[in-house]
Structure 1
Amino acid sequence: MHKQRVVLVHGLDTFGAAAWPKQHGLALSYDALFLRRHGFDPVAEPVESDVGTDVGILLDSLASAGGGHVVAHEQGAVSAMLAAVERPGLVHSLVLVEPACLSLTAELPATAAYRTLMQPLFDVRKQLNDADYEREYFRRAFSAATGGRDTPEARRSARRLRLQAPPWEAPLEIVPGVPTLVLTGGWEPLYEEIAAYLQETGALHRIAAGGHRPQDSAEGDRYIRSFIADVARSMSVQAS
């Protein structure tokens, strides 16, 4: 039996299959593909982010299977939405987890406040070293300190973070006709504001425990799986 494809697109932290520990079991029912975005490599040195390249990687992975479902976290949700706008026929459904789709809500209060907080840091990112930028990013974005690890992997992670473009620059649009679930952790007004905006445009919104990674909770994983399964069943009925 042919399995529908599910492509999972990571955010800023871990990448590939490591970014989706609770979702590995999707491979039992679907053709699950754990994407690596441009510049995310376990060995190679990080490079400047390129959302256009990310969109191309995602569309290629969908086109090779005749389309599929997309599950995306954080900044990965930006390329997921852009891919759906460019080729909506390839995207069976969208699951956006804590989506950093700030250009959609640029005029709303939580998003405007976040940009006011983060823009000065982005403006000087090329003048800061990787460790100082990472430390200040986490302090501003999450009111948290970084782990302070000094390993090759940690150094690459810090450099990669500094090379990411501001998420509010992407030219996002609403994707009409694509079933969409927005999953948030209920901890941060910024993501709840984005989720509420998407809900007003037709998306389903669910909140699960887990902070910025609600996909790691049993409840969040259940929401993801049930949403994809519902859309997949609906597609099968329509095709029969």
Structure 2
Amino acid sequence: MIREKALRRLHIHGGGRRGAEAWPHVADPDAIFVSFPADASIADQAEELASEHRGERLLVFAHSIGAVPAVLAAHRLEVAGLVLLEPALYDIARGHAAVERHIGIVTEARARVAVGDLRGFWAIMRPLMFGGPFEAARWEDEQSLAARWAATNLPWGHGVRERMLDGIPTLVVTGGWNEEYEVIGEIIATRGAVHRILPGAQHRPQDLPGFADVVAEFETSLAGA
């Protein structure tokens, strides 16, 4: 009798904290926490996932932009299930007004970086990403954060298509606070994914007490599939 491989939980961070620091509520001692190099491209990230975790039976958790390499690598891995948290899969939602507005603002901001105007970049990006206005008095403290955001990968332009999730049991969890992520969740749901909305933590629904119950329900469905 061939014993089925144990299911391991692989956690892929978003654009902020990396590794286990991005998942402070995970208590699984066997969990795997990815920590991509800061300068790794999306293509490099997808290749790392596919090469480093081939042969393992995985339940993959991916947050925000981490969903992009997760989806690109998924069919090269043995993925039993995929949990996408506020997935930044903008490529599958092109044309939607909220998504195009976001992309347009970021494109305008990046154009400021291209001419060496980091402060101008931050004046555009700070309200978009953090909800508060640019304040000259805080610029010195926020300059390094602005530089990091100016150099981070963009989550679109990578050829992600919703069909890439076909055949992979998928749970999408969004926070109900941002139309862009809700649209992406709805599109994925049309391909058969389960979409759950957990309000209260905005971009990090995984930090809410109810998240564990949603995941447990999803895992039960995998066992019965």
Q: TM-score surpassing 0.5?
A: yes
Provide Cα deviations, 1:89-111, integer angstroms capped at 9, x if missing partner.
52211111001100100012221
TM-score by length of 2: 0.84
Matches of 1:180 and 1:122, distance apart in 2? 33
> 2:7 corresponds to which letter in structure 1?
Q
> 2:167 corresponds to which letter in structure 1?
G
> Hey, what does 1:138 align to over in structure 2?
126
> Hey, what does 1:25 align to over in structure 2?
27
> 1:37 corresponds to which letter in structure 2?
F
Matches of 2:7 and 2:143, distance apart in 1? 37
Contact conserved, 2:110 with 2:121, CA < 8 A, in 1?
Answer: no
> 1:83 corresponds to which letter in structure 2?
A
Unaligned runs of 5+ in 1: 40-46, 236-240
> 1:217 corresponds to which letter in structure 2?
L
Query: 1:8 aligned to 11, 14, 25, which one?
Result: 11
> 2:90 corresponds to which letter in structure 1?
L
**Distance apart, 1:131 and its partner CA:** 6.6
- The yes-or-no answer on 1:106 pairing with 2:94 is yes
Closer/same/farther in 2, CA of residues 146 and 55 from structure 1, 3 Å limit:
farther
Closer/same/farther in 2, CA of residues 155 and 203 from structure 1, 3 Å limit:
same
> 1:25 corresponds to which letter in structure 2?
A
Write the mapping of 1:153-192 to structure 2, written as runs, cut at 5 A. 158-173=146-161, 174=163, 175-192=165-182
**SS of residue paired to 1:7:** strand
Closer/same/farther in 2, CA of residues 155 and 224 from structure 1, 3 Å limit:
farther
**SS of residue paired to 1:68:** strand
> Hey, what does 1:42 align to over in structure 2?
none
**Distance apart, 1:133 and its partner CA:** 4.0
Closer/same/farther in 2, CA of residues 123 and 150 from structure 1, 3 Å limit:
closer
Matches of 2:106 and 2:47, distance apart in 1? 28
Write the mapping of 1:1-240 to structure 2, written as runs, cut at 5 A. 3-22=6-25, 24-27=26-29, 31-39=30-38, 47=39, 49-63=40-54, 65-85=55-75, 87=76, 89-128=77-116, 133-134=121-122, 136-144=124-132, 158-173=146-161, 174=163, 175-209=165-199, 210-231=201-222, 233-234=223-224
**Distance apart, 1:135 and its partner CA:** 5.7
Provide Cα deviations, 1:114-142, integer angstroms capped at 9, x if missing partner.
11222111233344466764564231234
**Distance apart, 1:162 and its partner CA:** 1.7
TM-score by length of 1: 0.79
Closer/same/farther in 2, CA of residues 8 and 129 from structure 1, 3 Å limit:
farther
- Name the count of aligned residue pairs: 217
Give me the CA root mean square deviation: 2.7
Unaligned runs of 5+ in 2: none
> 2:37 corresponds to which letter in structure 1?
H
Where relative contact order (Cα < 8 A, 6+ residues apart) is larger, the structure is 1
